[in-house]
Chain A
Amino acid sequence: ETGVTQSPTHLIKTRGQQVTLRCSSQSGHNTVSWYQQALGQGPQFIFQYYREEENGRGNFPPRFSGLQFPNYSSELNVNALELDDSALYLCASSSYGTSGMLDTQYFGPGTRLTVL
């Protein structure tokens, strides 16, 4: 069983540029959540995708957007990069159980984004 994978591992961009991060979910999972982890902080929820639709969003501006594909892999796009966007971006895959609650979220290794 393949775990959650993310690409690229590291990325360096300059202010104002756009970036796309990718996540492949674990086999059997249909939900992907994205989190931003700034240095020295806990991860913050960005948004979640379920069956190719955005299913919830945290306190992030619209320049953070995403996609989920039919194979449940996902992209995170960030436009007009700012210095404060420098962080580790984590994706987590899961599935909704019969109770209607999201099962355990399994995290990928993350993409380290540096904005200069």
Chain B
Amino acid sequence: AQSVTQLGSHVSVSEGALVLLRCNYSSSVPPYLFWYVQYPNQGLQLLLKYTSAATLVKGINGFEAEFKKSETSFHLTKPSAHMSDAAEYFCAVSDSGGYNKLIFGAGTRLAVHP
């Protein structure tokens, strides 16, 4: 069965510092992988997705993620954090079954302090 593990339920960085949010997945087939962001009291917004093309995926708001098959990882990075990046971030893998449900990690809450 496919699964997603997000290491670190809370991450705190200074404004301007590197953001690194970790995601490891388990899948027996080549996965589709996603990062979503959730701001307080809102739904999920797609940041970026990996669908077996380029292993380095660029998303919105300056975020990017690299698919590493050997490490079964899909970590999310941003070179310089901004206060507006404070939110909950979810990594997800698409179930390879017939209806491609999303399987989410537990989420990482990112805090950005001045």
Q: Which of the 9-residue segments B12-20, B61-69, B103-111 touches chain A?
A: B103-111
B107 to chain A, nearest CB (A): 5
Do most interface residues of chain A lie in helix, strand or loop, or is the interface mixed? strand
Which residues of A (2-26) have their CB < 8 Å from a CB of B?
4, 6
In the bound assembly, the distance between CA atoms of A77 and B43 in angstroms comes to 20
Q: Which residues of B contact A6 (CB under 8 A)?
A: 43
Residue of A55, A101, A105 near B102 (CB, 8 A) is: A105
Q: Are A106 and B94 in contact (CB under 8 A)?
A: no
Q: Which residues of B contact A107 (CB under 8 A)?
A: 36, 43-45
B42 within 8 A of A: yes
Q: Which residues of B contact A108 (CB under 8 A)?
A: 43
B56 within 8 A of A: no
Which residues of A (61-115) have their CB < 8 Å from a CB of B?
90, 92, 101-102, 104-110, 112
How big is the A interface, by class? 20 to 34
Known contacts A41-B106, A43-B104; decide if A56 and B44 are in contact (CB<8 Å).
Answer: no
Residues of B bordering A, CB below 8 Å: 4, 32, 34, 36, 41-46, 49, 90, 92, 94, 97-107
